[in-house]
Chains A and B, each alone.
Chain A
Amino acid sequence: LAAPPHRSLQSDGVNPDLASERLTASFSVEKLTARLDGGAEHTRMRRAIVEAIESDPAFSRENQYFQSQNERYEAAVRRAVHLQKKMREMGWTENGPEIKYIYRWLSGDIAFLLHRVFMRSISVLGSDKQVAKWIPLATEHQIIGSYAQTELGHGTYLQGLETTAVFDIATQEFLLNTPKISAMKWWPGDMGRSATHTVVFAQLYVHGKCYGVHPFIVQIRSLQDHSPRPGVTVGDIGPKMNFEHTDNGYLMLQNVRVPRENMLSRFCEVQPDGTYVRWGSQKINYFTMTTVRISILSDEVILPLMKACTIAIRYSAVRRQSKLKPGEQEAKILDYQTQQQKLLPQLAAAYAFHFINIYLHELFDRGYQEIQGRNFDSLPELHAFSSGFKAMVTQYCTSGVEICLRACGGHGYSLLSGLPSLYTRVLASCIYEGENTVLFLQTARFLIKCFMAASAGQPIPPSVTYLSSAKPGKCPAKDKLDFLSPDVYLKAYEQMAIRSVTKLQHLIQSGAEKHEAWNQCTVQLVKAAQAHCHYITVKIFVETVEKLDNKAGIQKVMKHLCDLFALHGIFSNAGDFLYDGYLSGAQMDLVTASYLDLLAVIRMDAVPLVDAFDFTDKSLNSALGSYDGQVYQRLYEWAQKSPTNQQVSPAYGKYLKPLLQNRLSKL
């Protein structure tokens, strides 16, 4: 497999400080890239798609950092429309293998992502008849859809939604209303300006009885002139930290009527006489919600961390500051231990999460097979996994991106570094698809239940059997090298996770979930869930490394990263590991020593390890992180393109001149 042109070692103009980093790689970058893509053929396909998109000027990201919210939105709509054309030209389809690479590249710049959620929700929640009616219209973009669940007053807690849908037998319609201000739909993407239709989640009332939250298809804008339909108040919710290309919207409904057939009725239906019928199992629907949490991880969460690491590590190899030895050239900041301690654990985490993500997808694919066969046994475990890992990975990656941003000093603060937009984007993931604290508590609930079941001798899912294997003991490590043994650190993580759960013994004995008692323990419950997820992540990383081919140096460098990820976790949470003496204070010093040694080892491969992520310069869109390392030149060129330098600011003539001259004349 030949290296692609964008990262050839021969290419002229690569900053020597970056070129030298690549000469000493201990492994084959190209082979690792192929491993990350899941095979060389996937790498080839991905590169071909990226090339097709990047060579099309309609998708250019140039000047993106200079655009206003209005301009970003309009460009996103323009690109979304252009993409339809492009897909036909290229022969790409919505269900094809290319689609994930297309959206991976475009997702921060393109409208109608919620349109896809709209279609998916109709496919999953709609009857065959509804699917037949709406999906062709949506596929052809005759209508543009959104997905209106969250309200001003309620987010993760769905039962609290306040929008109402009252069935009117006389006209066979539902009457939708926003009874108060907090019931206004708030945040749905594509809804503020673009959507013609949306799926509205509302409390269903029939004959005065409430049947809970149900989905309804509601037309919100005219298909002729795009004006809001009667009774509909709709608009954009205003500027946010990011997602400026998306018209997140508000929606108020006043006596808006939709036909009975617009309630999505795969699982339940209101019959013409008002009888409410429920059939089938909604568990499959529940499963869909759960998979969404996992599906965002790769592109929306782990990818930004990989990009941030790429930018920060390349920049740290180019930036020289201060001298390590008198008389020598200034040192690369990547050679400072404190800089390594900031960046390299983030790099290790990016790899750890890449592997846990693969594991979760396999788990969910298996789960899906079982559910298809009407076996719902694995559902609670899958739910607990998706909640806990969504929360842990989003939280960790968000903080990781911010560390990368701040590790780039002043230049990281410039939008041109690309880091602020990566950060503001990834941090939204801590909130959407379920607020993280709430999700951790769901995982904790599962752990407590399993532990209780295990204590009562009942069978528990394989991922948590370790909870019943608690044996008091001490860590056997005697030397710092002992901590490079996965058995040693895995055991320490396992003990720590068990302890975090069993510490909640009193809660468990009290029968659990007595509401007040539960609320009194939530801080510890969150910790227990985190400990569990952290342990599983280390475990999967270890297992992945064991399975890796020991060719081309890949297994060795991945083992280093795995050790670093594990030891950094112990170093950063020392108290949890020291508590009850599983690790002694002296052993903690050995952990620290081993951890610091690893930084120096991985430092040698740091640049090749981010090169392996294989981001093109255009997808990074960073003046600091480009492959050639020509940081300062690019920063200067890009800054000159800023509109502030292109236009004459009216401020001088209007305010400064009078201020300065007024006084001169008085002197």
Chain B
Amino acid sequence: IAKGRGEEGRPGGTARRGLQREGVINDPDFQHEDLNFLSRSQRYEQAIRKSSLMVMKLREHGIADPDEIYWFKRTCLGPFPEPFGLHFSMFQKTLETQTTDAQKEKWLPLVRGVNIIGTYAQTEMGHGTHLRGLETTATYDPATQEFILNSPTVTSIKWWPGGLGKTSNHAIVLAQLYTQGQCKGLHAFIVPIRQLGTHEPLPGITVGDIGPKFGYDEMDNGYLKMDNFRIPRENMLMKYAQVEPDGTYVKPLNDKLTYGTMVFIRSIIVGDSARSLSRACTIAIRYSAVRHQSELKAGEPEPQILDYQTQQYKLFPLLATAYAFHFVGAYIKDTYRRISGDIIEGDLSELPELHALTAGLKAFTSWTANAGIEECRMACGGHGYSRCSGLPDIYVTFTPSCTYEGENTVMMLQTARFLVKSYTQVSSGQRVTGMVSYLNDLSRQRIQPQHVAARPVTVRINDPISLVEAYKARAARLVEAAAKNLQAELNHRKSKEDAWNRTSVDLVRASEAHCHYVIVKLFTAKLSEISNAAVRAVMTELCLLYALYGISKNTGDFLQAGILTDTQVNQVNQHVKELLAIIRPNAVALVDSFDFHDVHLGSVLGRYDGNVYENMFEWAKKSPLNKTEVHESFHKHLKPMQAKL
């Protein structure tokens, strides 16, 4: 029904991409044994093989458009991380945006042609999201015109960068710059780490793999320790800040520009949240249509577990969420595109709001999807626990996005900072624009003694537009409450930082409510854009389910603020149950619309043809423990034990 839209948000591209996808999937070069049966080293090796192959194919097909590359990569590599990932994203992007023309000329051909392989080494063992705390140093030596790089403490060892452990021979290293005896803060340097030709670590460089993780088996996340390692002055990325040959430091003009990249990457995570949750929903809903269990009526055949209300209640709100996040992901991407144009023109006015919004939405969607994937897995019972379900892999691959590119709680607090700032502006009589404009209503309320929450909202629970108003009222109430609590703490003569810390639980709640409102609003706005009546009808049901389920899970906020009455809460719960029954007949069609190929879904439970049990058996037979009919441990341990007795 909504074919193509869910997956890519780009109708029209679907057919061509389908052909391209079939081509890659059937290409014998990309075949390999089921990854679940391989060791970590083998999985890494497969990933390198496929990445190398993909680079060759990109060259062959002459694909250069970033969107096309992204799509092609996903097709070749599936949803798995790749050791070259940071080479194409952060390494290349940073060199494109933060270098001088001379540096571009030197490095970009090498990077684009993959003559060197690079990664982006920012995170250290002791510091992640809090960048200012990084400890690696780069000290300028005017005598030789070199920077001396050092990892002065254990905590300063670079830790986690993908592709750093075994694959890369170069890295962009973020380090505290020291020149003329002064620390000038964090700067980026391009550092060779392995010998070209032999791939051995260079003298002064200690580099390796950080060991096994929850997921990301394909990825050689690495560590990097530098001991008096010297690089030429020209290896500092000098588009903005510069160090002159004599060691004089030239300050950058504007540091807001780095926001742009962060917004971009976080918007990608919102899309990933949608995709990962869609994959999990596809598996769980298809399996629930195949699995029969127990009885609803005595004497009748066992029903599909998808007919149980509890199962629907687990899965359908997540399906609605997956659709909601697709629309939000597309919205942020479009907004970023639009604003990037303004940025090039020098107009940065919209950047702070977009930055605040993406931080919050990154956290909101990744938290929700993370929990949702687990819910889908649990809904598949014991078989969801088997690697053959594909769900463990989706989860372990997705869950780090709650941490990387900005730890979620920190992200929520960044959004809160913006919300509080907007609230303060409104309080002092200014007007605010954009997604926070609902705060303007607060000033109109000011004459009345009661707080904003007391404003009656006439909520019609069958009407998405009315529900948007309810979410708006909740967000306004929680932002106001957090801002007032913060003020109260400040009045107790607490330091600004203490007061902020002592209000941070409230602040996170406010951000969550704000993000929730934005998502309901965007989903609702999307409905009127859908021209096909049948598609619009089913999307409206999902939108209603998303909004009402969100209310039923947070009734406390809506009751406390007086937005809904007890009776309305009952109606909401009742309506949620009705929607479950309404969506039930379309459930499988709605996940089919995500259009995941079996190969990319990687799930025996979620197969398009639904032949689950036979294929589980076929899959299990290939397990490493089944390589021989009698396992060697029988001869080594069991037999001697029985003989001894």
Q: A141-B645, A336-B501 are in contact. Are A642 and B560 (CB under 8 A)?
A: no
**B619 beta carbon closer than 8 Å to chain A:** yes
Chain A hits for B630, CB < 8 A: 225-227
Query: In the complex the two chains form, is A644's CB within 8 Å of B209's CB?
Result: yes
Given the contacts A409-B403, A643-B41, A523 and B310 also touching, CB distance less than 8 Å: yes
Contact code string B551-595 (vs A, CB < 8 Å = 1, else 0)? 000111111111000100100010001000000000000000000
A294 contacts partner chain B, Cβ-Cβ < 8 Å: no
A-B contact pairs, 19 of them (CB 8 A): A69-B623, A73-B633, A74-B636, A157-B294, A238-B37, A238-B622, A238-B626, A320-B126, A409-B129, A409-B407, A515-B298, A516-B297, A522-B313, A575-B558, A576-B556, A596-B505, A639-B223, A643-B40, A663-B114
Is A14's beta carbon under 8 Å from chain B?
Answer: no
Q: Is the interface of A mostly helix, strand, loop or mixed?
A: helix
Decide: A579 and B566 in contact? CB cutoff 8 A: yes
Indicate whether A81 sits within 8 Å of B39 (C-beta atoms), given known contacts A193-B633, A240-B387, A414-B210. Answer: no
Contact: A338 with B223, CB < 8 Å? no
- The residues in B between 84 and 136 inclusive whose CB is less than 8 angstroms from any CB of A are 113-117, 123, 125-130, 132-133
Whole-angstrom distance between the Cβ of B371 and the nearest chain A Cβ:
9
- The CA-CA distance from A80 to B607 in the complex, in Å, is 39
Closest chain-B Cβ to A315's Cβ sits at a distance in Å of: 12
Q: Is the CB of B386 within 8 A of A240?
A: yes
Report if B69 contacts A (CB, 8 A): no
Q: Interface 1/0s, chain A 317-346, versus B by CB < 8 A?
A: 001111111100010000111110110000
Q: Scoring A residues 628 to 667 as 1 if CB is less than 8 Å from chain B, else 0, what string do you get?
A: 0000110110111111110101111011111111011001
Of residues 27 through 47 on chain B, the ones whose CB sits less than 8 Å from some CB of chain A are 36-37, 39-41, 44-45
Measured between C-beta atoms, what is the minimum distance from A140 to chain B in Å? Answer: 5
Residues on the A chain within 8 Å of B617, using CB: 152, 181, 184, 250
A182 contacts chain B at the CB level, 8 A cutoff: yes
Closest to B501 in A: A337
Give B494 Cβ to nearest chain A Cβ, in Å: 11
Q: Does B166 contact A (CB under 8 A)?
A: yes
Residue-wise interface mask of B (374-397) relative to A, using a CB-CB cutoff of 8 A (1 in contact, 0 not):
100010011011111000100010
CB of A268 within 8 Å of the partner chain: no
Distance of B487 from chain A, by nearest CB (Å): 15
Given A239-B36, A324-B497, A575 and B556 contact (CB-CB distance below 8 Å): yes
Q: In the complex, are the beta carbons of A580 and B385 less than 8 A apart? A: no
Give B615's nearest chain A residue, CB to CB. Answer: A181
Over the window 469-493 of chain B, the binary record of Cβ atoms lying under 8 Å from chain A Cβ atoms (1 yes, 0 no) is 0000000000000000000000000
User: B378–A338 contact, CB under 8 A?
Assistant: no
Judge whether B413 is part of the interface by a CB distance below 8 angstroms: yes
Chain B min CB distance to A528 (Å): 13
Q: Is the CB of A81 within 8 A of B637?
A: yes
Answer yes or no: A519 CB below 8 A from chain B CBs.
Answer: yes
Q: Taking the complex as formed, is A153 at the interface, i.e. its CB lies under 8 A from any CB of chain B?
A: yes
A389 to chain B, nearest CB (A): 18
A556 CB-CB contact with B under 8 Å: no
A337 to B166, CA, bound (A): 39
Q: Chain B residue with minimal CB distance to A597?
A: B502
From A336, A523, A639, give the contact of B313 (CB < 8 A).
Answer: A523
A residues less than 8 Å from B641 (CB atoms): 81, 84, 141
B498 x A324 contact (CB < 8 A): yes
A contacts, CB < 8 Å to B: 65-66, 68-70, 73-74, 77-78, 81, 84, 140-142, 144, 150, 152-157, 160, 181-182, 184, 186-187, 192-194, 225-228, 235-241, 247, 250, 319-326, 330, 335-339, 341-342, 402, 406, 409-410, 412-416, 420, 424, 427-428, 430-432, 435-438, 441, 515-516, 519-524, 526, 573-581, 585, 588, 592, 596, 632-633, 635-636, 638-645, 647, 649-652, 654-661, 663-664, 667
Given A241-B387, A585-B562, A649-B45, answer yes or no on A644-B502 (Cβ-Cβ < 8 Å): no
Chain B residues with CB under 8 Å of A402's CB are: 374
In the bound complex, do residue A237 and residue B566 qualify as a contact, i.e. CB atoms below 8 Å apart? no
A578 touching B505 in the complex, CB below 8 Å, given contacts A74-B636, A152-B616: no
Partner of B310, one of A237, A427, A522: A522
Given the complex, which residues of B lie within 8 Å of A235, measured CB to CB?
620-621, 623, 625-626
Taking the nearest CB of chain A, how far is it from the CB of B296, in angstroms?
5
Distance A330 CA – B556 CA, assembled complex (angstroms): 36
Contact (Cβ within 8 A) B638 A227: no
Given contacts A235-B621, A414-B211, A649-B44, contact A519 B309 (CB under 8 A): yes
Q: In the bound complex, what is the Cα–Cα distance between A225 and B630 (angstroms)?
A: 8
From B160, B223, B632, B637, residue with most partner A Cβ within 10 Å: B637
A533 to B192 alpha-carbon distance, docked (Å): 60
| Interface status of B185 (Cβ within 8 A of chain A) | no
B412 to chain A, nearest CB (A): 8
Q: How many A-B residue pairs have CB under 8 A?
A: 354
Measured between beta carbons, the chain A residues less than 8 angstroms from B619 are 238
B213 within 8 A of A: yes
Binds A, one of B4-12, B48-56, B256-264, B534-542: B48-56
Question: A46 CB to closest chain B CB, in angstroms?
Answer: 28
Inter-subunit contact B625/A247 (CB<8 Å): yes
Q: Say whether A66 contacts B211, CB under 8 Å.
A: yes
Max chain B Cβ within 10 angstroms of own Cβ: one of A66, A436, A636: A636
Whether the Cβ atoms of A644 and B555 lie closer than 8 Å is no
Query: Would you give the shortest CB distance from B66 to chain A, in whole angstroms?
Result: 21
Q: Shortest distance in angstroms between A128's beta carbon and chain B's nearest beta carbon?
A: 24
A660→B114 contact, CB < 8 A: yes
Chain B residues contacting A192 (CB-CB under 8 Å) are: 625-626
CA distance A574 to B498 in the complex (A): 27
A574 to B40, CA, bound (A): 45
Contact among A241, A338, A524 with B508 in the assembled complex (CB-CB below 8 Å):
A338
| A431 & B130 in contact (Cβ 8 Å cutoff) | no
What 19 new A-B contacts, CB under 8 Å, besides A441-B310, A638-B211?
A69-B623, A69-B624, A78-B637, A155-B382, A157-B293, A240-B387, A241-B387, A420-B214, A516-B297, A574-B556, A576-B555, A580-B566, A632-B125, A643-B40, A644-B41, A645-B208, A651-B44, A660-B117, A661-B197
Cβ contact within 8 Å between A663 and B638: no
Which residues of the other chain, B, contact A435 by a CB distance below 8 angstroms? 381
Given A68-B624, A236-B625, A323-B497, check contact A337 B378 (CB 8 Å).
no
Contact A575 B559 (CB under 8 A): yes
Shortest beta-carbon distance from B302 to chain A in Å: 6
CB neighbours of A236 from chain B (8 A):
620, 623, 625-626
